[in-house]
Amino acid sequence: MATLTAPRIVLSRADYADSHTLSRYLATGGYEGLRKALTMFPEAVASEVDQASLLGRGGAGFPAGRKWSMLRKAPISYLVVNGDESEPATFKDHLLLERDPNQLVEGVIIAAYALQVSSVYIFVRGEFALGLERVQQAVNDAYELGALGSKILGSEFSIDVVVHPGAGAYICGEETALIEALEGKRGFPRIKPPFFPAVAGLYGEPTVVNNVETMSNLPWIINHGGAAFAALGGGRSTGTRLFALAGRVNNPGVFEIEMVKNTFRDLIYDPQLGGGVIDDKKIKAIIPGGVSAPWFGPDLLDLPLGQDEVAEKGSMLGSGSIVVMDETTCVVRAAWRITKFFSRESCGQCTPCREGSGWIERAMYRVEHGGGRMEDIDLLLDLCDNIAPGLTWPPQQTTICVLGPSIPSSVHSAIQMFRDDFVEHVTNGGCRHD
């Protein structure tokens, strides 16, 4: 049975039909966190977040407090919020942007105050037209309320927040590509080092980039204290987290549950969560953290939903998206479609990614559609190995950003776990699911 005793931190008002309005927000404790934060020293606010040990909710899982403290040595120029959620089957930030934009804006102001930054850009994925409108409305409302602008809420702190629309490019979720897009260029990830925009970010100046869900946690953390947040979850994975469950389940959706206290099985089968697999079919495989992550078989369903727990088994919790594939699923087709996605979204800067994604996609297409040869199976593994040598997880890096080494995950997993399915495709000259 799932453990569902933890409070809802970021989805506390998502059930109200008018959860996105300022009136609902103010009636449910809105802007109390900011008012409290403004009575504290900025470094005390940052230290609450540090104490919460809030891991960044974007995908890499880097502690938000540490991201901030690395910067405290130099004054920061910009805070950029990453709302470019595009990892396939991840749809939690979409929910937060549309359903609780005021909470995001309050979180952003708290972060800006802690970092003493006056210039903030909220980068929202272009395809989220409604999300863009609602965040812009929340920003407008905050100016009206005096929570944004000059000397906010009677304090000595001034801040400006700009909502910036993206235009459809997966790679802009990578923080340096996002900064390039914000500078009006193609979304090409920047060469590392420097590894962090904290050193050289927007316009070459020190910049902090944080995810939407990370920011949305801040009002609660300031209201209840970092210790209360850290008391939830376990190990390094503190607090609650949004999990986006999709695929062959009865009740797909975004669920806020305590980290570590629940397992993949709880999330998929609990009647209050995923509600089990469609038609009670058996699970064939799951993708534990976005399509960049290596797959798990049904033997790992009892693994707790924690960052380190999943990492120990050779994958990642990543963006918090879990895709369930059951016995009716053609894994070859699934892996081919994921590779097609990467091939389409590769920015084209690095050869292993630009060429490799296309090669793998074409070989996978041929296996799935009846033109496959037996030697294609090992050829595919070799291609994968050329992009991420050794096929370990975390992967070896051959490219500027992590998109490249993420390409092999699905194909490698599919061949490793279901080689027989590939052999069957080649022998039968196509897919029996067609």
208 interacts with other proteins by CB under 8 A:
no
Site for other proteins in 335-374 (CB under 8 A): 337-338, 341, 344-345, 347
Q: Which stretch binds other proteins (CB under 8 A): 15-23, 84-92, 375-383, 418-426?
A: 84-92
SS3 label, residue 105: helix
The residue among 279, 276, 255 whose CA lies nearest residue 324 is 276
Please select the residue that binds other proteins; options are 25, 31, 128, 393, rule is CB under 8 A. Answer: 128
Please select the residue that binds other proteins; options are 7, 18, 23, 158, rule is CB under 8 A. Answer: 158
Q: How far is the CB of 132 from other proteins (least distance, A)?
A: 5
Please select the residue that binds other proteins; options are 3, 7, 23, 75, rule is CB under 8 A. Answer: 75
SS3 label, residue 63: strand
80 interacts with other proteins by CB under 8 A:
no
Q: How far is the CB of 51 from other proteins (least distance, A)?
A: 18
150 interacts with other proteins by CB under 8 A:
yes
Please select the residue that binds other proteins; options are 226, 239, 247, 289, rule is CB under 8 A. Answer: 247
Pairing of strands 321-326, 283-287: antiparallel
Site for other proteins in 91-110 (CB under 8 A): 91, 93-94
C-alpha 120, offset from chain centre: 20
Spell out, one character per residue from 379 to 398, where the chain touches other proteins: x when CB under 8 A holds, - when not.
Answer: --------------------
Pick between residue 166 and residue 197 the one whose CB is nearest to other proteins: 166
Q: How many CB atoms lie within 10 A of CB 203?
A: 11
Site for other proteins in 301-330 (CB under 8 A): 321, 323, 325, 329
Q: How far apart are the first and last CA of the chain?
A: 37
74 interacts with other proteins by CB under 8 A:
no
> Residue 78 has which token pair?
């910009």
Please select the residue that binds other proteins; options are 191, 203, 302, 382, rule is CB under 8 A. Answer: 203
68 interacts with other proteins by CB under 8 A:
no
**CB under 8 A, 24+ apart: contacts of 65-71:** 67/196, 67/198, 67/208, 67/210, 68/111, 68/114, 68/115, 68/208, 70/196, 70/198, 71/115, 71/198, 71/206, 71/208
241 interacts with other proteins by CB under 8 A:
no
Site for other proteins in 27-66 (CB under 8 A): 41-43
**CB under 8 A, 24+ apart: contacts of 182-191:** 182/80, 182/121, 182/123, 186/347, 187/347, 188/347, 188/349, 189/347, 189/349, 189/400, 189/401, 189/403, 190/400, 191/400
Pick between residue 156 and residue 280 the one whose CB is nearest to other proteins: 156
Spell out, one character per residue from 248 to 287, where the chain touches other proteins: x when CB under 8 A holds, - when not.
Answer: x---xxx--------------------------------x
